Amino acid sequence: GEDVEQSLFLSVREGDSSVINCTYTDSSSTYLYWYKQEPGAGLQLLTYIFSNMDMKQDQRLTVLLNKKDKHLSLRIADTQTGDSAIYFCAESIGKLIFGTGTRLQVFP
Amino acid sequence: EAGVTQFPSHSVIEKGQTVTLRCDPISGHDNLYWYRRVMGKEIKFLLHFVKESKQDESGMPNNRFLAERTGGTYSTLKVQPAELEDSGVYFCASSQSPGGLQYFGPGTRLTVT
């Protein structure tokens, strides 16, 4: 079946790296996405990776994809208080299948 | 280029009333999707339009929900009659091609009292 799982909470100190993990089930996914939702705001497309890639780096963001284990991670380097938000992992099988979201809290 | 827009941003209605949500996709995007997040749960797919045709409506919860996209531009999602469990945030997204990158609107927060 279609299922995407994430841990619910992550708390990190400002300046440290954050790693948010996600597992998915559908091996036919074309894209895998990370969306960010700040309080009171909509879903912001943060980054994405094609299913035939292993890694994608975009400034402070690094996405790693392990297709064998169906595991996706998002690493945020030098985490800032402005990174506090809910991060959603999603797999694309035409429609998007979302995880529950990981609430990232950054403390000074 | 304007992004996906949704109206209203917030709607409060009583149980049994009708509400219509509107989504304007990015210009030129034939694919339009509706999703919703209720009770802090996962964001769930509702349906997918390709131009004015419903490509996939497998996520529509019941016949109280009606989505239209006349003319293949903006879309509306009507809930009639609204129930308490319909409260949540309704998101719209659009993409150029099926399976392509989906860009989301800010969402409409629906509160049914």
Q: pLDDT tens digits, residue range A61-78?
A: 999 999 999 999 999 999
| Banded pLDDT at B1 (limits 50, 70, 90) | low
Alpha carbons within 13 angstroms on the beta-carbon side of residue B7 total 5
CA A6/CA B41 separation, integer angstroms: 12
**Chain A residues closer than 8 Å to B45 by CB:** 95-97
Would you state the pLDDT for residue B2? 79
Q: What is the pLDDT of residue B40?
A: 73
B54-94: pLDDT as tens digits: 999 999 999 999 999 988 899 999 999 999 999 999 999 99
Q: Give start and end residues of each alpha helix (H) in A15-103.
A: none
Q: Write out chain A residues lying below 8 Å of B48, CB-based.
A: 94-95
Q: Residue A83's pLDDT is what? A: 96
How far apart are the C-alpha atoms of B49 and B108, rounded to whole Å? Answer: 19
Q: What is the structure's pLDDT at B99?
A: 80
Closest-CA distance of chain B to residue A50, Å: 10
Note the pLDDT of residue B44: 95
C-beta of residue A32 within 8 angstroms of C-beta of residue A24? yes
- Asked if residue B94 lies in contact with residue B76, where contact means CB atoms within 8 angstroms, the answer is no
Q: What share of chain B is helix, strand, coil (3-state, %, to 5)?
A: 5, 50, 45
Kindly list the distances between the CA atom of residue B35 and the CA atoms of A84, A96, B38, B56, in Å, as whole numbers in the listed order.
23, 9, 10, 12
As a whole number of angstroms, the distance between CA B101 and CA A34 comes to 11
pLDDT greater than 60 at residue A1: no
B107 with A45: Cβ contact below 8 A: no
Taking an 8 Å cut-off on Cβ atoms, the answer to whether A94 and B93 are in contact is no
Distance from CA of A101 to the nearest CA of B (A): 7
Separation of alpha carbons A36 and B43, rounded Å: 13
Q: Do B43 and A98 touch (CB under 8 A)?
A: yes
Chain B positions with Cβ closer than 8 Å to A: 33, 35, 41-45, 48, 56, 59, 91, 93, 98-99, 101-107
pLDDT for A10-57, tens place per residue?
999 999 999 999 999 887 878 899 999 998 788 899 999 998 889 999
Question: Residue holding tokens 């943060």?
Answer: A46
Q: Does A48 touch chain B (CB under 8 A)?
A: yes
Tell me how long chain B is. Answer: 113
